[in-house]
Amino acid sequence: MSDWESKSVEGWSGKPAEGAAAPSAEKDLAVERRLIEKLVDSMQSEQRKSRRWGIFFKSITLIYLFSLLILWRWPGDNALSAKTGPHTAEVDVKGVIAADAPASAKRIIKGLQRAFDDPNTRGVILKINSPGGSPVQAGMVYDEIRRLRGLHPEIHLYAVITDIGASGAYYMASAADDIYADKASLVGSIGVISSGFGFTQLMDKLGVSRRLYTAGAHKAFLDPFSPQKPEEVKLWQQVLDTTHQQFIDAVKKGRGDRLKTDNDQLFSGLVWTGQQGLKLGLIDGLGSPEFVARDVIKAKDIVNYSSEPSAFDRLARRFGVSFGTAFADHLLQTRFDLQ
d(CA 150, CA 123): 14
Domain boundaries along the sequence of the chain: 39-74, 87-337
Residue 195: which pLDDT band, with cuts at 50, 70 and 90?
confident
Is the pLDDT at 208 greater than 50? The verdict is yes
Average pLDDT over residues 109-121: 96
d(CA 193, CA 263): 21
Q: Which residues contact 192 (CB under 8 A, 6 or more apart)?
A: 135, 240, 243, 244, 247, 269, 336, 337, 338, 339
Lowest mean pLDDT among 149-158, 184-193, 261-270: 261-270
> Which has the closest alpha carbon to 185: 294, 266, 88, 282?
282
Average pLDDT over residues 117-127: 96
Residue 7: which pLDDT band, with cuts at 50, 70 and 90?
very low
Q: What is the pLDDT of residue 69?
A: 64
Give the number of other Cβ atoms within 10 Å of residue 261's Cβ: 15
Average pLDDT over residues 123-135: 96
Q: Which residues contact 13 (CB under 8 A, 6 or more apart)?
A: none
pTM of the predicted structure, to 2 decimals: 0.69
Q: What is the pLDDT of residue 116?
A: 96
Q: What percent of the chain has pLDDT over 70?
A: 78
d(CA 260, CA 283): 11
In the chain, the amino acid numbered 293 is A
Q: Which CATH code is given to the segment(s) 87-337?
A: 3.90.226.10
237 vs 316, which has greater pLDDT? 237
d(CA 230, CA 216): 17
Q: What is the pLDDT of residue 209?
A: 82
Residue 307: which pLDDT band, with cuts at 50, 70 and 90?
confident
297 close to 90: Cβ distance less than 8 angstroms: no
d(CA 52, CA 44): 12
- Spell out where 169-222 has E strands: 178-181, 186-188, 193-194
Q: What is the pLDDT of residue 189?
A: 92
**Backbone angle region of 300, left / alpha / beta, with phi > 0 → left and psi within -120 to 50 → alpha:** alpha
CA-atom Rg of the chain in angstroms: 39
User: H-type helices in the chain, by residue range?
Assistant: 3-11, 21-73, 105-117, 135-151, 168-173, 200-206, 230-255, 274-280, 289-291, 311-318, 323-332
Highest mean pLDDT out of 200-214, 304-318, 320-334: 200-214
